[in-house]
């Protein structure tokens, strides 16, 4: 279709729902018009904007640093949860859960300044590759979603990430890959301390500040954004509170969910992925008014590279 | 001067420093050029963008609700710090400090949803008046600063508030008065909980989440914005860490401080105002490279209304 703003999306209910929603909220004088300042769209990251299989990128990032630390202090190799991470012992990793990924991240990066962390993250992203798909992690972003973000912004939306992943790792690549600047990234975070050294520095502490998952997502949207989104996009039960917070506001609302059902081009999974299951949100999508996006059916292309 | 972007500022060192800084960071190809995405400017609110005397607006806002609650539960009138607030007992209010203002605010608004709070704050702002200056609190904003915010945005800056005041009260008027949308307001905050009622609601809890003062300001800038500002503007020692964080980054930087020395048009105070003293920042302004803005000398007009 000439001038199609979403060329990587197949025609179908999901694409129509998006195009129809954007047309309605931008129609000046129409009954569903929403002023640009209120056109807030929030996207989960892992599994929604980029691949989260076989494990969230956060895992590989933290583990690589953990391995380096364990070379200097071999006792880490015998302590849990570090032992499980180094050995990729899936039952134990699953037992510690997604929050465990963040806690290991907090531990291995503690003491770094934010500037050091940014440099380290950029270096890691530039040099590491996904173990199965054999490409840089930053090439795991989904083309249909990158198109959708750009389409929303072209229609006056402000696009945000609201992720369970570590806020600083996402900020290291979100502007380049998604066009989303650091101040529009919300995520899990560690506590920090400001200190005057040669210059003022923000030091990362080994303790979680916020685990941005489930009911915490709407609370963090309120803290960071201060407005209820009119569009939200997720892929797991960790996003359900955000989707319902969005969908139950007054006026036109759109809540969307990626269903990973494409083993050929990406991965097929939902409720069995214990680190971030999609179960309740899938079972109750109709009742909650959530639009399911099937990767297999709705996306013409998957990856941006 | 024709086309003067800051007509409410008198000619002088402060105005020159601002105009020169903006010219340098926006000069494409120049040695001090800063790309628009990095043109982050942060402003304190109380005493920097609007009046904070005889007490921060937060005080009057919280006290009015406290009085209403105390009508229903008179025992509040005998409990500290509530007693001091109701009686305006300055020594005791000062003893509990600026953090005490936030804690009373957290107490009196606990249990409200964020939507209820916004409606309540808008109503209060529309109907309450400053006790000495006899005008609505929203007309306590400083015209030179409103001009400066607009001038910065016209030059590609993104303007943020980073305030010790309660984030939600500021969000209720910042877009209309300053052109700063909710997602660009950082402030003190209470803990909240998401709950599905008839619709998804954010409930305010009676506990502080963040007291956004002193060393916490740079930490919250890092959490909410994720970049070091290139320009920061404050008026008290509570802003000093933010000013130094800003000023000690690489490249061109500007840190500014309002000095309230104008008893005739506003108020004259600095180190004697115990709730928010200006002492170290004033004494060490030269050493730290902070530009002092004298209200009396540098502002042609004070209030925007």
B47-84 pLDDT, tens digit each: 999 999 999 999 999 999 999 999 999 999 999 999 99
DSSP string, B169-220: HHHTTHHHHHS--GGGEEEEEEEEEEEESSSEEEEEEEEEEE---TTHHHHH
Asked if residue B166 has a cis previous peptide bond (ω within 30° of 0), the answer is: no
Predicted confidence at residue B2, as pLDDT, reads 58
CA-to-CA dists, residue A116 to A110, B121, B218, angstroms: 11, 41, 16
Q: What is the arithmetic mean of pLDDT over A82-108? A: 94
- Report residue B207 as tokens: 């506990």
Of A14, A102, A45, A15, nearest to A242 by C-alpha is A45
Of B202, B222, B246, the CB nearest to A202: B222
Instruction: Give the end-to-end CA distance of chain B in Å, rounded to a whole number.
Output: 22
Write the pLDDT tens digit of every residue in B142-164.
Answer: 999 999 999 999 999 999 999 99
Q: Is B136 helix (H, G, I), strand (E, B) or coil?
A: strand
Q: Does residue B33 carry a pLDDT above 60? A: yes
Specify whether the CB–CB gap between B237 and B251 falls below 8 A: no
Q: Is B291 helix (H, G, I), strand (E, B) or coil?
A: strand
**Is the CB of A248 less than 8 angstroms away from the CB of B224?**
no
Predicted confidence at residue B305, as pLDDT, reads 76
Q: Which residues does chain B have within 8 Å of residue A118's beta carbon, measured at their own beta carbons?
A: none
**Mutation site for B-interface testing, chosen from A169, A180, A188, A223 by largest number of B Cβ within 10 Å:** A223
- Report residue B64 as tokens: 């009015």
| pTM of the entire predicted model | 0.97
Distance (Å) from the alpha carbon of A78 to chain B's nearest alpha carbon: 33
A177 confidence band (pLDDT: 50, 70, 90) = very high
**Is the CB of B245 less than 8 angstroms away from the CB of A200?**
yes
**Mutation site for A-interface testing, chosen from B189, B193, B200, B234 by largest number of A Cβ within 10 Å:** B200
Q: Which helix (H) or strand (E) holds B42?
A: strand B40-43
Average of per-residue pLDDT values in chain B: 96
Question: What is this model's ipTM?
Answer: 0.97
Predicted confidence at residue A2, as pLDDT, reads 58
A interface residues, B as partner, C-beta within 8 Å: 37, 40, 114, 158, 160, 167-168, 171, 175, 181-185, 189, 192-196, 198-200, 202, 209, 215-219, 222-227, 241, 244-249
Q: Which residues does chain A have within 8 Å of residue B196's beta carbon, measured at their own beta carbons?
A: 241, 244, 248
Closest chain A residue by Cα to residue B246 = A200
CA-to-CA dists, residue A286 to A124, A219, A289, B133, B138, angstroms: 41, 24, 5, 56, 45
**From CA A174, how far away is CA A161, in angstroms rounded?**
9
**Mutation site for A-interface testing, chosen from B36, B214, B222 by largest number of A Cβ within 10 Å:** B222
Q: Does residue A273 carry a pLDDT above 60? A: yes
- Three-state helix/strand/coil letters over chain A: CCCCCCCCECCCHHHHHHHHHHHHHHCCCCCCCCCHHHCEEEECCECCCECCCCCCHHHHHHHHHHHHHHHHCHHHHHCCCHHHHHHCCHHHHHHHHHHHHHHHHHHHHCCCEHHHHHHHHHHHHHHCECCCCCCEHHHHEEHHHHHHHHHHHHCCCEEEEEEEEEHHHHHCCHHHHHCCCHHHEEEEEEEEEEEECCCEEEEEEEEEEECCCCCHHHHHHHHHCCCCCCEEEECCHHHHHHHHHHHCCCCCCEEEEEECECCCCCCECCCCCCCCCCCHHHHCHHHHCCEEEEHHHHECCCECC
**From CA A157, how far away is CA A232, in angstroms rounded?**
12
CA-to-CA dists, residue B246 to B222, B273, B282, angstroms: 11, 25, 17
**Is the CB of A244 less than 8 angstroms away from the CB of B189?**
no
**From CA A272, how far away is CA A237, in angstroms rounded?**
12
Half-sphere exposure of B154 (CA within 13 A, CB side): 10
A304 confidence band (pLDDT: 50, 70, 90) = confident
- Report residue B209 as tokens: 């989440």
**From CA A158, how far away is CA B253, in angstroms rounded?**
28
Q: DSSP character for B10?
A: P
Asked if residue B182 has a cis previous peptide bond (ω within 30° of 0), the answer is: no
Half-sphere exposure of A135 (CA within 13 A, CB side): 10
Q: Which residues does chain A have within 8 Å of residue B249's beta carbon, measured at their own beta carbons?
A: 199-200
Q: Does residue B87 carry a pLDDT above 70? A: yes
Q: Does residue B295 carry a pLDDT above 90? A: yes
Give me the percent of chain A exceeding a pLDDT of 70: 99
């Amino acid at each position: 279709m000439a001038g199609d703003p979403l060329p990587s999306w197949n025609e179908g209910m999901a694409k129509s729902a998006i195009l129809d929603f954007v047309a309605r909220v931008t129609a000046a004088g129409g009954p569903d018009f929403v002023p640009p300042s209120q056109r807030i769209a929030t996207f989960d990251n892992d599994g929604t904007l980029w691949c989260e299989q076989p494990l969230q990128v956060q895992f590989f990032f933290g583990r690589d640093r953990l391995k380096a630390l364990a070379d200097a202090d071999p006792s880490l190799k015998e302590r849990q949860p570090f032992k499980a991470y180094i050995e990729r012992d899936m039952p134990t990793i699953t037992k510690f859960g997604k929050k465990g990924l963040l806690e290991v991240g907090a531990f291995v990066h503690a003491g770094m300044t934010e500037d050091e962390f940014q440099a380290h993250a950029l270096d890691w992203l530039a040099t590491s590759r996904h173990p199965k798909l054999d490409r840089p992690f930053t090439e795991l972003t989904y083309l249909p979603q990158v198109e959708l973000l750009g389409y929303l912004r072209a229609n006056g939306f402000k696009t945000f990430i609201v992720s369970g992943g570590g806020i600083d790792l996402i900020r290291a690549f979100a502007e380049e890959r998604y066009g989303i600047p650091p101040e529009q990234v919300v995520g899990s975070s560690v506590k920090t301390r400001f200190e005057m050294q040669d210059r003022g520095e923000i030091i990362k502490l080994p303790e979680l500040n916020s685990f941005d998952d489930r009911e915490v997502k709407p609370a963090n949207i309120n803290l960071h954004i201060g407005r209820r989104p009119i569009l939200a996009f997720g892929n797991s039960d960790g996003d359900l509170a955000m989707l319902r917070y969005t969908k139950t506001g007054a006026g036109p609302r759109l809540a969307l969910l990626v269903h990973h059902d494409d083993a050929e081009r990406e991965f097929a999974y939902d409720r069995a992925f214990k680190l971030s299951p999609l179960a309740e949100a899938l079972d109750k999508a109709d009742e909650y008014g959530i639009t399911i996006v099937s990767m297999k059916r709705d996306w013409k292309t998957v990856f941006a590279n």
